[in-house]
Every structure is written in structure tokens, then in C-alpha cells.
Amino acid sequence: MADVITYRDAVAEGLAREMRRDASVVCLGEDIGAAGGVFKTTVGLLTEFGPERVWDTPISEQAIVGAAMGAALTGMRPVAEIMFSDFLACCWDCLANEIPKVRYMTGGQVTVPLVVRTANGGGLGFGAQHSQATENWALTVPGLKIAAPATPADVVGMMAAAIRSDDPVVFFEHKALFATKGAPPPPGHVVGLGRAAVVREGADVTLVALASTVPLALRAADALSGEGIEAEVVDLRCLVPLDMATVLASLARTSRLVTVEENPYQGGWGGTVVSVVADEGFDLLDAPVRRVAGECVPLPFADALEEQVVPTVGKVVAEVRRLAAY
């Protein structure tokens, strides 16, 4: 096996591993077959598994997710791709009002074991309709699990857990991470959903991050270390289930907290994390909690303007300095 694997290749690898393991796993979406996906995240799947298990679909998000729901209800484990997470809005009735309600409304008699994969987030100048981080949309819907890996190995391990889940999972793959590289996952690699990871240890402040903000937080932590401030970085990995035990354990060591999220500040997941800390870990805090988040505006196309809207290393460093001086 290669020494490194890219994030985008890890998506295809994670899908292929589960398709080899379980014949009920199928993939569907726009241009995922011969084209290998618009972001080249499904390369090789059609060649290995054929058109019976890799389905190119029309350009209709509602049809894609609706077909996935029907397939899941009748014994398959479909993995549906919505090309851009912004377009989850086009299939929102299925995703928010139908799929997450079935298991509850049937008293557990029927499950909907499907995964909706989607390319998420900004930083690449794709403009207001193709750059949003939309985890917070799904976070408002009871019944959906939410995964957002930051590394290639986690892509494979969390994909395995998502596909094997009997509950629906929205799987956010960050566009700005596709070209990044990391250690390849070992055979049989599975990362249980709802298990956060401490990816950098430190004693002075806890930085809680997700997906693209994990490497951003790590870069900020390296910069702060040169100033004598050691930041601990927690990669949430998932929003549902949400591993607050790991966050609170880190806070017990550092006594200071900064959340770093790409979602807009208004309604972002950082607000949920902070509310749990206020409720269950208030006595651990030695300073106010800070949130670094996206601005509450449509994302600009121009890169210089987009940088003003999304979290940056400089914004994180500035907030940590404020806390260190508190």
C-alpha cells in the first residue's frame, strides 16, 4: 500500500471496501459512473462493480434521494451522492421530513440504512450557491446522523461505519480537503460514529474543530506554540452523535475553549457545543468561551472577500490570544 493517500481517493476506497464486503451496497448520483464523479471521488467503481451497483442518475436531487430511500426500505444499503451540499435544499423534503422519521413512525419495524454523501464547504471561490458549509442544516433534523471527516483515514473508517449504520447518515466531504494527503487506512478500518479525536495535545486552550477547520486549528496551534501558548485540538468528526465527553475532558485540562467552525455563527454547531459546556462544564472554565465561525452573509466569489467571511488561522490566533490574556 502507498505511504499516503489523498482525501478524494479515500472516498472511492471507502466505498469500494464496503461494496466488496456487502453486495447490498449500491451507489447512485450524477456522473458517478464513467466520469468517476465531478470531484473524482468515485473513480474505478463502475469498472469494478458494474452498472448494476453504480447508477448514473438524472440531474434531480429529489429523484436521487427518493430512489435511495426506496432502495433502503427494500433491503439495499444505498449511498447517494448530492454533488454540492448546497443542493441538499433541492431534496430537503425527503431528507428532513421523510427519511429520518420512518424508523420512529413504524416503531422500529422499518429502518432506512442509507448514506447521503455530499461535497461541502468553501475556500475555493465557488460562489454563494456552491460554497456553503451546511452541516448546521442537517443538525436541526432529529433522526439524521452527521459525519464530517478531516483526514483520508477517517474518510474510509467513518464511511464504513456510516454505510453499516441502520440509521440514515449525511456524510460531508470537504471540497478544500480533496487534494490533501494522509496516512492510508489499514485493512478493515472502521471509525465508530460519535467518537471525537484529540489530534494535538496542549494545556492552555482547547480548540474544537470539524472537517476543514481541523487542519486550520492545527496550524493556529503551531503558530501559538511559538508564543508559548499550547493549544489542544479536538476533531469532533461527527455532530450526531456528538462526543461532548471528549470535549469536556479536554476542557478539564485546559480551562479555556474556542470552537472553530465554517458554519455561519448564527445557528452554527459551535453554539450547541458551547451550550453543553455551559450546562455541564461551567465550573471547568477560567475564561469566557469564544466562537470563531463563518460570517452571516452569502459567500463571496472573490477570494480576498471569501477570506474575510470564513475562519482563518489569524482569526483563531487572535481569539486565543484574547483568552490567554483574560
- Which whole-number Å values give the CA distances from 299 to 119, 147, 259, in the listed order? 16, 23, 20
Per-residue buried b or exposed e for 107-119, using 16+ beta carbons within 10 Å of the residue's own CB = eeeeebbbbbbbb
307 is catalytic: no
**Cα Rg for the chain, rounded, in angstroms?**
19
130 is catalytic: yes
- Which whole-number Å values give the CA distances from 113 to 9, 51, 297, in the listed order? 24, 21, 35
- Which whole-number Å values give the CA distances from 130 to 51, 117, 120, 231, 259, in the listed order? 29, 15, 8, 32, 24
320 touches 225 (CB < 8 A): no
Q: Please tell me what DSSP assigns to residue 91.
A: G
- The DSSP result for 187-214, as a single string, is TT----TT--EEEE--SSEEEEE-TTHH
The catalytic position among 18, 30, 81, 130 is 130
E-strand ranges in 210-322 read: 231-235, 238-240, 257-264, 290-294
- Return the residue matching grid coordinates 452571516: 296
Cell readout for 290 is 469564544
Peptide bond into 241 cis (omega under 30): yes
The catalytic position among 13, 18, 30, 61 is 61
User: What's the gap between Cα 221 and its chain centre?
Assistant: 21
Strand duo 197-200 + 290-294: pairing:
unpaired
Backbone angles phi, psi at 137, to 5 degrees: -60, -50
Active site residues per annotation: 61, 130
